Amino acid sequence: MGQEIAELVGSSLWMIVGIAVIFAVYVGVSGLCYFLWNLYSQGREKARGYTSLKTVTFGDESAVVANRVASVAAVITIFLLWAIATGSSLLPFKILPGPHEGGTSFEYTAVNAAGETGKGQIDLLVHQFGEKPDAPAPAAEDGDFAQNQSVTVAQRRKVLIKTQADEGFRFTEIDGQPINVGDTIGFKDGSILVTQRGSLSVEPDVGMTMEALYLPPPEAVWSRFIDLNKNGYQGVGLWENVFWSLVRVVVGFALGCLFGIPLGFAMGLNGWLRGWFDPIVEFMRPVPPLALIPLIIIWFGIGEQGKISLLFLAALWIMTIAARAGVSGVSISKVHAAYSLGATKKQILSKVILPNSLPEIFTGARVAMGVCWGTVVAAELVAAEKGAGKMIIAASKFQLTDIVIIGIIIIGVIGYGIDMLMRGAENRLVPWKGRG
């Protein structure tokens, strides 16, 4: 227990360092861009409007407007850092050294059981991971017992040069430098470790870029995107996956609204019903929908019914609470005014309470849509036949990182799109929101 906590603290500290470094790089680039932008815009950008006349802007939130140049530069920076870290071929020149590629060689000196000394040459062909080239012919023999060899090795991998069969054979020098068991010594394109049994573990230079397994370069992701668009993945089209996720969200959300809004109104208008539903609503509200996934799978299996039930439950409580808050938010003088003008209870509900609670309901709907979108992806990660989440979990099992990244980008873009749509609908349908 104590050791685990110590480890947790230790790794947290390392994370702080890592995050600080990444942040420092990103903010540093931001500072550089700001400097360049200022140089460029000096004298060109004429301050306009009322805000430009304000002398106090630090602390005046209304005077702070997002600089769109900064936003564009920030996105470009992310792609640029991505390209640099992966050694992308889109860059005109390499900024970080990549792993060694192509041929290289080193010489060794060895002794045999008879005490003779001989020299040999090892040729290496370093190729990209996944390729299977033939090893080139070894250099011509000079006649001693130490044979020349030719081997292939993938980038970022190691290859073992074994001691030759008869006992007593021992490597003594690499390129003229004496070696001992356990040493690691460099040669011109990599390093060599002398193993306990006397073999040579040869590792060509790995460079400083990331391996595609962890983060593929942008152009690889793009070409995979084109391929996915045309052929899909595992027999399901890319947009078919996205479509199914969206359908589940829309159906689950609609069901949640269908039941949640009337339930919220009932709780806002009637003391008995509020008392009746309060325990379950207050209990279910803090339960994250993801915690229900195992139970939902036990009850409904992994079909559509289960996922839609889950999304329904995710949206239901949010919409209930939003509608209830909407009813509580109706000022009593509006209700009084409507009664004095001769409205019936039914008219009060439809003409006063319902429209008056629309802003709250829209706020709730935006939250519910966000939660549903997150939940559907998580549910598909657990079990699904189609869907954005299913696509990325299936791809991750085959280490197709590019598909995982495409999936994440699409999920993010669609989540953002949903929120923009909801905001647009809100501005159209409740223009009075926030304007007393």
Partner 1 sequence: MSGLTINDVSMTFDLPNGGSVEALKNINLNIKGGELLSVLGPSGCGKTTLLNILAGFLAPTAGVIDLNGHNVVGPHPERGMVFQQGALFEWMNVSENIGFGPSMKGTPKGEINDRVQELLGIVGLQDFGEKMIYELSGGMQQRVALARCLCNDPDVILMDEPLGALDALTREKMQSLVLDIWKKTGKTIILITHSVEEALLLGERLLVMAPRPGRVHKEYRLPFAEMGVGADLREVKRHKDFGPTRDEILNMIWDMEEEIMGRTETA
Q: C-beta of 13: minimal distance to partner 1 in Å?
A: 53
Closest distance of CB 362 from partner 1, Å: 13
Which C-beta is closer to partner 1: that of 256 or that of 268?
A: 268
Q: Which of 23/432 has CB closer to partner 1?
A: 432
- Closest CB to partner 1 among residues 196, 340: 340
Which of 400, 372, 394, 382 has the alpha carbon at shortest distance from 316?
372
**In angstroms, rounded to a whole number, what is the distance separating the alpha carbons of residues 164 and 145?**
9
Nearer to partner 1, 302 or 343 (CB): 343
Residues that bind partner 1 (CB under 8 A): 331, 333-334, 336-344, 347, 351-352, 355-356, 358, 430-432, 435-436
Cα dihedral 79, 80, 84, 87 in deg (nearest 10): 60
**Could you tell me whether strands 177-178 and 170-174 are parallel, antiparallel, or unpaired per DSSP bridges?**
antiparallel
First to last CA, the chain: 56
User: Helix, strand or coil for residue 410?
Assistant: helix
| Backbone φ, ψ for residue 163 (5° rounding) | -65, 145
Least distance in Å: CB of 431 to partner 1?
A: 7
| Least Å from the CB of residue 366 to partner 1 | 19
Question: CB of residue 430 vs partner 1: minimum separation in angstroms?
Answer: 8
- Report residue 411: phi and psi, to 5°: -60, -45
Using alpha carbons, select from 307, 309, 304, 327 the residue that is nearest to residue 259. Answer: 309
Spatial CA neighbour of 67 closest among 93, 40, 98: 40
Q: Nearer Cβ to partner 1, position 265 or 312?
A: 265
Return all residues near 94 (Cβ < 8 A) that are at least 6 apart: 87
What residues contact 356, with CB distance under 8 A and at least 6 apart? 326, 329, 330, 334
As measured in angstroms, the least distance from the Cβ of 351 to partner 1 is 8
In the DSSP assignment, the letter for residue 134 is P
Question: Cβ neighbours of residue 377 under 8 Å, at least 6 residues apart?
Answer: 245, 387, 388, 389, 411
SS3 173: strand
- C-alpha 70/C-alpha 87 separation (Å) is 25
Which residue's CB is nearer to partner 1, number 65 or number 341? 341
Q: In the complex, what is the shortest distance from the CB of residue 338 to partner 1, in angstroms, rounded to a whole number?
A: 7
Nearest approach, Cβ of 322 to partner 1 (angstroms)? 17
Least Å distance, CB 426 to partner 1, is 13
Q: For residues 273 and 430, which CB has a smaller minimum distance to partner 1 in the complex?
A: 430
E strands, 117-237, are 117-127, 149-154, 159-161, 170-174, 177-178, 184-187, 190-194, 200-204
Contact 122, 102 (CB under 8 A): no
Which residue lies nearer to partner 1 by CB, 42 or 333?
Answer: 333
Cβ distance to partner 1 smaller for residue 359 or 389: 359
Nearer to partner 1, 236 or 343 (CB): 343
- Minimum CB separation from partner 1 for residue 94, in Å? 59
For partner 1, the closer CB: 40 or 432: 432
| Shortest distance (Å) from residue 358 CB to partner 1 | 7
Gap between the Cα atoms of 52 and 63, Å rounded: 8
CB of 3 or CB of 340, closer to partner 1: 340
CB of 353 to partner 1, least distance (A): 11
d(CA 258, CA 361): 12
Neighbours of 353 (CB within 10 A): 22
CA R_g for the chain: 33
